Amino acid sequence: MFAAKRLGKELVKWSLDLPDTTSADIRAIVTLLQAKQKLPPGIELVKADDFREWLVDIQVLDANPLYMNQTFRLSFLFSDSYPIEAPEVVFLKVPPAATDPANPQQQSQSQTPFAGRPIPIHPHIYSNGIICLDLLGSAGWSPVQSVESVCMSLQSMLTGNTKNERPQGDEQFCQSMGVRGPDGWSGYRGKGRGRGLRDVRFAYDDDTV
């Protein structure tokens, strides 16, 4: 599978000692990565049990008061055509709990409760976690991009933001999209399937935030 080969290479790139092969068991790769990560600062791979969805936590490393001491969770959904086709990337809202629901065994080793993951406030990020960013659209995406480069772009987008506000029409847009499920977003259902982010036509008219 095309996507599996590419994603396997991305995992190998982040490890320290794995050979450049895509045949290694993905769970073994992830176990090694969690112990010896080679990701840029402020980026942590949380879960990658398959080539369908990965969860990644990011932090803003500068002193931006909007995001100080906060960690945000991204969901990457991959199609079989990745990296030719962009992944679906959204922020996830995860409530505080005793352990991280995405990684309960690792979290249970810590005495600190899981703080939760909010959706960052930003003029290009809707309150349901959908991101208006040309890089993630079909016109702006390039196969040279990767999970790592997307995370770094989002870190940069948050770092440069000074506006504590959501996009215009946030409430109406979130209502129209509905709830995210295994068949896409529940809004505007057609032929039994939900709406996908590739069906959304964003207007990328503000590059100042």
User: C-alpha angle 125/127/130, rounded to 5°?
Assistant: 50
Q: How far is C-alpha 10 from the chain's CA centre?
A: 15
Q: At what angle do helices 2-14 and 26-35 cross, to 10 degrees?
A: 20
Burial of 118 (0-12, 13-18, 19+ CB in 10 A): middle
- Give CA separation, 123 vs 46, 59, 132, in Å: 26, 18, 9
User: Are the CB atoms for 62 and 40 separated by under 8 Å?
Assistant: no
- The catalytically annotated residue of 32, 132, 135, 158 is 132
From CA 28, how far away is CA 30, in angstroms rounded?
Answer: 5
Asked if 174 is an active-site residue, the reply is no
Active site positions, annotated? 132
